[in-house]
Each structure stands twice: as C-alpha cells, then as structure tokens.
Structure 1
C-alpha cells in the first residue's frame, strides 16, 4: 500500500539544513525499525518548510499502531524521534500529539479516461 504523509519543519534555515544532514545518514537502528515493520520504500521531499513523505508498505506485515508501539519501547528510535522534533512542527491540520499526517489522494491519472 502507498501512504502519502505531510509534516512541517520549523522555519529556520539552519535547523532545516541540519535536518537534511541527519537524513543523509539515518541511524541504522531507525532504518532497521522502519524495514522490520513492513515499510518497503520511503522517500521524503521538501518544499520550503513542508515535508512530503511517500511510504510503500507490505500489507501482510505493516500495522501503523504496532509500529508506533514498537517505536515507543525502542530507546534508540525514541531518541531519534525526540531529536527530530527539535526540527519538526505540526502542520496546521495535525491533531494534537501527532507528527506525520496522512494526506488524502484527490487525483489519480490511472483513473482518468
């Protein structure tokens, strides 16, 4: 399954630059956590302070709630998430206490005549 998610960054060029540096070499434990929970592909794009993530998952393995639960009990993943929150900011539409929010698809070329 494909998920498209959004998150913002704090509007600070130095923080944005540091955030991008961290994402050039994500901690191996974090990458392992993502993969072991059924995420087969993940890309993050940036425009200004808005981040856009495309995530492909294996439906037989991926469960967002189980992945979040495992993240909360993994000290390295928690450390990464705490560090990333120094750079990140919720979008205006993000529910309190959440980070990445799923976007709604409004167009699909394959469904057009």
Structure 2
C-alpha cells in the first residue's frame, strides 16, 4: 500500500496582467523546462497543480513517502538549471505580505476536511 500526502502552498504574482500572462505561458502544458519537471519527480512529488485567482496562486502537491522538503531544498540548491528557473520565476513572483524575506511559497494550514 502506498503512502501519499497532500501539501498546499500559496504565492503571489506581481499584480501585472502582462507578467501574469507570461507566467501562465511558462506553466502551460509542455512548456515547463524538462529539467524542472524531472527535479520535481525525482524529489518524490507524484503530482503538482497550480491554481490562480487574480495574482494569488495555490499549489497542491501530492508526495510519496520518499519526499523530504529539506532534501528537496538541497537538491534544488545544487541544481544549476533549477536555480536558473527559480531566478526567472522570481521575476514574476512576489512575497506574500506575511512571508519572511525571500520566502516564495508559503505552506497552507488545513482548517477543514469534509470527512476523514
């Protein structure tokens, strides 16, 4: 039996329609760099979805038992292509008002579930 866990995060884009449209193009099906999708899968992320309303994004990740956020951060820091992607994306993104400096995606706390 497999163990999967759902993690949810939020991040804002700069409130600029042209930048938002360009960001969406980078994330359209088939447009994400293959090195990025490989690094995501290699970290134990089974599925990742990003939703957008206005300039606020919500990311939902389904991870398997091998996923470790510290290991993922270390892998990303050591991957030049991931660093290039992150720097590019930071041109579109901005910190949430309550984020620490340089913190992009903020983990969401689950406050409701219909049934367990």
TM range (shorter): over 0.9
Determine the structure 1 residue equivalent to 2:39: 33
**Which of 13, 32, 41 is equivalent to 2:17?**
13
Structure 1 distance, partners of 2:115, 2:98, is: 28
The answer to whether structure 1 residue 54 and structure 2 residue 97 are counterparts is no
Q: Where does structure 1 lack aligned partners over 5 or more consecutive residues?
A: none
SS at match of 1:110: coil
Structure 2 distance, partners of 1:15, 1:38, is: 30
- TM-score, normalised relative to structure 1: 0.94
**Which of 83, 86, 95 is equivalent to 1:90?**
95
| Structure with higher helix content | 1
**How many positions carry a matched residue from both structures?**
110
- Shift >2 Å, 4+ stretches: none
Determine the structure 1 residue equivalent to 2:68: 63
- TM-score, normalised relative to structure 2: 0.92
Superposed CA RMSD: 0.8
Structure 2 distance, partners of 1:17, 1:102, is: 24
